[in-house]
Chains A and B, each alone.
Chain A
Amino acid sequence: MIPSLVLRTWAKLLVPLTFLFSLWILYRGHNSPGGGFAGGILAATGVALYGLAYSVAEARKLLPAQPLALIGAGLGFSVLSGFVAYFYNRTFLTGIWNADLKIGTPLLFDIGVYLLVFGVLMQFALTFERRIGEEGE
């Protein structure tokens, strides 16, 4: 961790902003630049920054679940979104859309990508940070 007042203050401000921004990036991805991959990375940068400024323990508190659980949930989400098509007698991963709500299974798939990328990067960053934190002590 880096005990810098400037970094810590900014980190507190930036984390909720990056989270919101990443969700927006995820949502707009279908029609404009963005998507689950970029969104997931963005969300991860915020938390990683927070972890650098404070500590791994503090950063972990920001996460809704363990990174490995996020990875599993993401992969599960993407796979399950593919199975929806079977209920419409289409094959695996065919996009199924609700025309009125403008919501379809590709968005569900992308949410899975978002969760997984976020979880993978968190797992990388937190594992390394924890190791360094412990070696530093």
Chain B
Amino acid sequence: MNFDLTSLQPLLVLSCLALILGGAAAVRPRVAEGISWGLAAVSALMAVVIGLTPLGTRASVPWIPDWSVEWSLHITGLSRLFGLVVCGMGTFVFAYASRYLRDYERRGECIGLLAAFMVSMLGVVLAADLVTLFVAWELTSVTSFLLIGIERERESARRAAVQAFVVTGAGALAMLAGFVMIYQVAGTWRLDQIPDLSSHPSTPWIVGLVALGAMAKSAQVPFQFWLPSAMEAPTPVSAYLHSATMVKAGVFLLLTLGPILGKSLAWTPILATVGCLTALAGAHLAWQADDLKRILAGTTVSSLGLMVALVGLSKQLATGAVLVFLLGHCLYKGALFMVAGNFTFISGEKKASRLSGLGRAYPLLWASALVAELGLAGFGPVLAFVGKEVAFKAAPLSMLIALAVASPMLVACAWRLAFAPFLGPTPTGARPLPLAMLLPPVLLGAMSLAGGFAPTAIQSWLIDPVVGPGLKRFSVIPELDAALLATLLALGVGIWLALKTRPTNAVTLAERAYGSVVAWLRQTGESVRATTQDKPVRKRVLTVILVATTVLAIGFLADPSMVWPDLQLPTVPVLLVATLIFGGAVATVFAPTRISGIVSLGVTGLGLALLFLLMGAPDLAMTQLTVEIVTVVIFVLVFHHLPRIGYHATRSIRMRDAVAALVLAGFLTLALLSVTGRPDLARSAEFYAANSMPLALGKNVVNTIIVDFRAMDTLGEITVLAAAALGVTSLFGKSLAHKEEA
């Protein structure tokens, strides 16, 4: 055995360990609390390993060598920073979740999925090529879908999960198209080998497609509505996926591709506009909301907008600002989500306006909340403030105006969460807060402060490797300039807003638009079904036959050059078997009862098996035989209770059906003959026959094709089979469930 992944091996081993622990939690929910602590330790260890691995470490294994597709990971400055965020936040989230989810019915599943998400997200940020990045990206979407919809019996949870998945999935498809275009232009998937494509004529398309993916993932306008809905998930999930890590994947993607596409003419207009609009829309969303987590989701959207706008500037200072702000945002937003979860844990309340008087009983909680809200308000000695100040310096005037409008609304949210819930007389019936739920937000707040006081250390360790040297040292002491003036103004207006306005819980335009698109799709689907499927079985089958015939006819029209194979006269046994098959088919058509029809059909099947045997294909014969038997058994089961066959159709309708069937059969025969006649296909048959033993070590050519040469096809086929079984289960199982209820 030899690993090619030598230097990233510890990280891979730890990732496997995290997956195993997650699986164990899913299988044994009773020990999920302990496992969650174990996962906290593992992710902390992973963060240390990422911090210690030298930059430039790369590892890969081939996947599809013919297209130079491989699985590859690397550690660059950017992936180290994001990797630390993923694993570092993972540590806090797992520690918090261990206690928060203790009494939760689906704790095992939730913690298992969180572990799976962590590993997928790590795959996104460590990916060294576009294909690995895309696969990991989709895996985060899938785990996010499962986590949002974890309470699947609630309709709102299901809708939110589907919404998030549809939006991010559609964006990812656009992104994939962009990736393929990059490959076509650059000739490589490897991130470190793609040259600067900014001046290539097709780059605007690439920028547009990739930006769509990033916008969907990072909840940018007009896709911002999925993030507040995603708050259906348990709080640790929201804190981890929907504020700290997954929603930042879009920003990560843009940062990764910035050096390749950033100088394109399309880059700055698209991203800066979208980012500023999102900053405004998110702040408005947060200001209008009363639900604790929806407020936080809105502010997250706003912060993501700021980050995207800054990446869009494609300037060194702006990129530095994004990275500092991103770190600061993780710290304070993670803490805020945990504080919100603690509010709900203590009092059972989810609305901000109904909380009061918690300050006296939970002073440490208040302290951590205050520190976190400094970050949200964008003022004070915290890391997020440092980032925001740099951002204001990097931003042009138009962007500054947008931010100046958005900031007061964020300040208003911070003000509402900082004081009203804590002031006043202590309410009765409040539960004590366990240490495991108090410490994570306190520690995050402490880190936020520490980062605020020592931004230069962070800058030289984490930021400089990404943006390069030469950036001014960051400082927590603001300079007296327009940026500070804007901040102070926002602070004043924001506090005034918080005191003067009440949340209205308005439904956003984008969310309504999504709703009507979904409704339209349903309606269209229903009308298509009604015109093609909602008919007697006879007509449904006719639809299928006509479609199949049309497809084949188009094929023959497109390429009329028919190659006839060398046909030989059939031998006597073959003729006899053919007669048997023909007789079976005729008997099926004229069968008086269903059972006799099924048996006659079985005769054609048996005849086919015999034919295979005569042609020297015992494998096919055997499989055909067993399939025939099973088919007859299942047919008998299904038809057992149906009424007797009645020939309701008139003579002309039966003639029409016969003609349609014969035309399709004719086309199929032609297609088969044409395929058999093609010389290149005959060559592949020779290849398999010659190489079955030397390459696949098997004498049975059919089997070596199925399980070795073309195993990928087989994998696809058995996946389809599994999906069909699930379909049958949901179709028939559902009516069963109804019966049990009745």
Measured CB to CB, the residues of A under 8 A from B are 25, 29-38, 41-42, 44-45, 48-49, 52, 67-68, 71-72, 74-75, 78-79, 82, 86-93, 95, 97, 104, 106-107, 109-110, 112-113, 116-117, 119-121, 123-125, 127-132, 134-136
Residue of B699, B722, B732 with most partner-chain A CB within 10 A: B722
Cβ of B718 under 8 Å from chain A = yes
Which chain A positions have C-beta within 8 A of B739? 134
8 A-B pairs (CB sep. < 8 Å): A33-B702, A34-B703, A38-B623, A52-B636, A74-B722, A91-B61, A91-B65, A131-B735
Which chain B positions have C-beta within 8 A of A130? 736
Cβ of B554 under 8 Å from chain A = no
Cβ of B618 under 8 Å from chain A = yes
Known contacts A33-B619, A106-B711, A127-B729; A78/B700 CB under 8 A: no
Q: Report whether A95 and B696 are in contact in the complex, using a CB–CB cutoff of 8 Å.
A: yes
Q: Report whether A45 and B641 are in contact in the complex, using a CB–CB cutoff of 8 Å.
A: no
Complex formed: what's the CA distance from A84 to B702 in Å?
23
Closest to A37 in B: B623
Cβ of B506 under 8 Å from chain A = no
Residue from B3, B622, B633, B729 within 8 A of A123 (CB atoms): B729
Give B704-730 interface residues, CB cut-off 8 Å to A: 704, 706-708, 711-712, 714-715, 718-719, 721-722, 724-726, 728-729
Give B637-689 interface residues, CB cut-off 8 Å to A: 637-638, 640-641
Complex formed: what's the CA distance from A93 to B64 in Å?
11
Q: How large is the interface on B (under 10, 10 to 19, 20 to 34, 35 or more residues)?
A: 35 or more
Which chain B positions have C-beta within 8 A of A86? 61
Cβ of B4 under 8 Å from chain A = yes
Q: Report whether A116 and B721 are in contact in the complex, using a CB–CB cutoff of 8 Å.
A: yes
Complex formed: what's the CA distance from A71 to B706 in Å?
18
Complex formed: what's the CA distance from A68 to B722 in Å?
9
Complex formed: what's the CA distance from A35 to B637 in Å?
27
Which chain B positions have C-beta within 8 A of A48? 630, 633-634
Residue of A29, A45, A88, A134 with most partner-chain B CB within 10 A: A29
Which chain B positions have C-beta within 8 A of A106? 696, 698, 704, 707-708, 711
Residue of B2, B633, B702, B732 with most partner-chain A CB within 10 A: B633
Cβ of B1 under 8 Å from chain A = yes
Known contacts A36-B707, A109-B711, A116-B718; A89/B61 CB under 8 A: yes
Q: 1/0 per residue B47-82: CB within 8 Å of A?
A: 000000000000001111100000000000000000
Residue from A29, A68, A78, A91 within 8 A of B729 (CB atoms): A68
Q: Report whether B721 and A117 are in contact in the complex, using a CB–CB cutoff of 8 Å.
A: yes
Q: Which 5 A-B pairs have the closest CB atoms?
A: A33-B618, A31-B699, A41-B626, A106-B707, A120-B725
Residue from B629, B696, B699, B733 within 8 A of A127 (CB atoms): B733
Q: Report whether B725 and A82 are in contact in the complex, using a CB–CB cutoff of 8 Å.
A: no
Cβ of B697 under 8 Å from chain A = yes
Q: Report whether B725 and A52 are in contact in the complex, using a CB–CB cutoff of 8 Å.
A: no
Closest to B739 in A: A134
Closest to B637 in A: A128
Complex formed: what's the CA distance from A95 to B710 in Å?
11
Nearest CB in chain A: distance from B234 CB, A? 25
Q: Report whether A131 and B736 are in contact in the complex, using a CB–CB cutoff of 8 Å.
A: yes
Q: Report whether B711 and A97 are in contact in the complex, using a CB–CB cutoff of 8 Å.
A: no
Q: Report whether A135 and B641 are in contact in the complex, using a CB–CB cutoff of 8 Å.
A: yes
Nearest CB in chain B: distance from A113 CB, A? 6
Counting residue pairs across A and B whose Cβ atoms lie within 8 Å, the total is: 162
Known contacts A31-B700, A120-B724; A110/B707 CB under 8 A: yes
Q: Report whether B700 and A29 are in contact in the complex, using a CB–CB cutoff of 8 Å.
A: yes
Complex formed: what's the CA distance from A25 to B621 in Å?
13
Q: Report whether A35 and B707 are in contact in the complex, using a CB–CB cutoff of 8 Å.
A: yes
Nearest CB in chain B: distance from A4 CB, A? 14
Complex formed: what's the CA distance from A95 to B705 in Å?
12
Complex formed: what's the CA distance from A134 to B633 in Å?
18
Known contacts A48-B633, A91-B65, A136-B641; A67/B725 CB under 8 A: yes
Give B8-28 interface residues, CB cut-off 8 Å to A: none
Which chain A positions have C-beta within 8 A of B423? none
Cβ of B551 under 8 Å from chain A = no
Q: Report whether A45 and B698 are in contact in the complex, using a CB–CB cutoff of 8 Å.
A: no
- Other than the given A89-B2, A109-B714, 9 more pairs (CB < 8 A) read A38-B626, A41-B627, A75-B718, A75-B722, A106-B698, A116-B718, A117-B718, A128-B634, A132-B641
Nearest CB in chain B: distance from A76 CB, A? 10
Complex formed: what's the CA distance from A89 to B733 in Å?
44
Residue from A30, A42, A91, A127 within 8 A of B728 (CB atoms): A127
Known contacts A67-B725, A128-B634; A30/B626 CB under 8 A: no
Which chain A positions have C-beta within 8 A of B696? 95, 106
Which chain B positions have C-beta within 8 A of A67? 725
Give B154-171 interface residues, CB cut-off 8 Å to A: none
Complex formed: what's the CA distance from A57 to B622 in Å?
30
Q: Report whether B633 and A71 are in contact in the complex, using a CB–CB cutoff of 8 Å.
A: no
Which chain A positions have C-beta within 8 A of B633? 45, 48-49, 52, 125
Complex formed: what's the CA distance from A71 to B721 in Å?
9
Q: Report whether A41 and B641 are in contact in the complex, using a CB–CB cutoff of 8 Å.
A: no
Nearest CB in chain A: distance from B659 CB, A? 33
Q: Report whether A132 and B640 are in contact in the complex, using a CB–CB cutoff of 8 Å.
A: yes
Which chain A positions have C-beta within 8 A of B733? 127
Residue from A38, A72, A92, A120 within 8 A of B622 (CB atoms): A38
Complex formed: what's the CA distance from A134 to B724 in Å?
23
Closest to B719 in A: A75
Nearest CB in chain B: distance from A39 CB, A? 9
Complex formed: what's the CA distance from A89 to B261 in Å?
34
Complex formed: what's the CA distance from A137 to B719 in Å?
35
Q: Report whether B729 and A45 are in contact in the complex, using a CB–CB cutoff of 8 Å.
A: no
Q: 1/0 per residue B268-310: CB within 8 Å of A?
A: 0000000000000000000000000000000000000000000
Which chain B positions have C-beta within 8 A of A127? 728-729, 732-733
Complex formed: what's the CA distance from A33 to B1 in Å?
33
Nearest CB in chain A: distance from B117 CB, A? 20
Q: Report whether B61 and A124 are in contact in the complex, using a CB–CB cutoff of 8 Å.
A: no
Complex formed: what's the CA distance from A89 to B648 in Å?
64
Complex formed: what's the CA distance from A72 to B732 in Å?
19
Known contacts A91-B63, A127-B733, A136-B641; A30/B721 CB under 8 A: no
Closest to A48 in B: B633
Complex formed: what's the CA distance from A33 to B638 in Å?
31
Known contacts A29-B700, A52-B633; A34/B622 CB under 8 A: yes
Which chain B positions have C-beta within 8 A of A104? 697
Which chain A positions have C-beta within 8 A of B732? 127-128, 131
Known contacts A33-B618, A35-B703; A71/B725 CB under 8 A: yes
Q: Report whether B707 and A109 are in contact in the complex, using a CB–CB cutoff of 8 Å.
A: yes
Nearest CB in chain B: distance from A127 CB, A? 5
Complex formed: what's the CA distance from A101 to B3 in Å?
24
Nearest CB in chain A: distance from B23 CB, A? 12
Give B597-633 interface residues, CB cut-off 8 Å to A: 618-619, 621-623, 626-627, 629-630, 633
Closest to B619 in A: A33
